[in-house]
Amino acid sequence: MGMSCPACTTRMCVVHSQSFDNTTQRWYRCPECGEGLRTCETIHLGGAKRNPRGSAHPNAVLTEENVRALRDAHERGVSLNQLATEYGLNRSTVIDIIKRRSWTHVA
């Protein structure tokens, strides 16, 4: 493994490398023409899959504000199908919200 200089194809030297979480950045320099290059590699530690941090909980799509707006819109006569489309939800999810079977803590 090695980097070739994009300018003169000479094998480049690693001048510096730095590791973060699961990525390694390497700075290369061409000994021939002085061209610099930086690469960023993802390394998988022990082949273990890491969960991405802050992955969204399915329910996190909605906010309390959304829920109030959705119920409000329903009271104004907006159809369930329209609400489902507008909020990207299943019809049954919309019904649960309107019938207060979910998000019961939202007034």
Provide the binding-site residues for Zn ion, judged by CB under 5 A: 5, 7-8, 10, 30, 32-33, 35
The residue (of 37 and 73) whose beta carbon lies closer to Zn ion is 37
Tell me which long-range contacts 67-73 makes (C-beta under 8 A, separation of at least 24): 67/97, 67/103, 67/106, 68/106, 68/107, 70/94, 70/97, 70/98, 71/97, 71/98
The residue (of 4 and 63) whose beta carbon lies closer to Zn ion is 4
The residue (of 32 and 64) whose beta carbon lies closer to Zn ion is 32
Q: How far is the CB of 31 from Zn ion (least distance, A)?
A: 8
Q: How far is the CB of 36 from Zn ion (least distance, A)?
A: 10
Q: From 42, 96, 99, 97, select the one nearest 65 (Cα to Cα).
A: 97
